[in-house]
Each structure stands twice: as C-alpha cells, then as structure tokens.
Structure 1
C-alpha cells in the first residue's frame, strides 16, 4: 500500500467512527418529532419604580482633535 491509499483508508475509518458517534450521542428520532414542552413561566411582579441611571464616572471625550 502506498501512502495515498493508506491515508484514504484511515480517512474512511475516522469518518465511520465520527458518523457512529453522531448516531449514538445525537438526539433520538422521537425527540426530533416531539420536542419537550416549554417550561411554565412565572409572571414577575411589576416593579414600583425603575432604578435611577448610573452617574458617569470621569471625563467624557466626545471629539478627538486631528493633529
């Protein structure tokens, strides 16, 4: 066997292993057709007042001069 045919054989073996792992560890067909129902969502109580905006810290540079 030359190196090209050996590489092709090893590539086929690796592809077969990856394909088998995808079938074993992937989702089952029943999970694909029947997705899990969404979890029940609790309604949050409305907040009395929103928190004030944070004050800026340090100088704010709005324009950089071109020197």
Structure 2
C-alpha cells in the first residue's frame, strides 16, 4: 500500500465520522425543528409624547 491510498482511506473514515457527529448533534434542514407560529396580536398604537417645554419668548432686544 502506498501512502496516498492510506491517506485516502483515513480521510474517508474521518469525513464519515464528522458527518455522523454532525447529524447526531443537529438534524439537517427543518427536520426536528418546531414549526414557527405566527402571532396574531396587533401592535399597540404609539403613545403621543407631550410637546417639549419651551423657554420664554424675548420680544424686544435692548440696544
């Protein structure tokens, strides 16, 4: 057996082990995941904020 053949066999074994571990820890795609439920609640209308407090108005400027 040459080293390229041994490396190919070891690579295939490692790749298959990684694939088995990946499937064991997390199913591929939507399998096993709960379906998303859409909420039917209406969003609350925004509350109108009070206008900001304004300072005094200067009508005449002394010269």
TM-score normalized with structure 2 length: 0.48
Greater helix proportion: 1
TM-score normalized with structure 1 length: 0.46
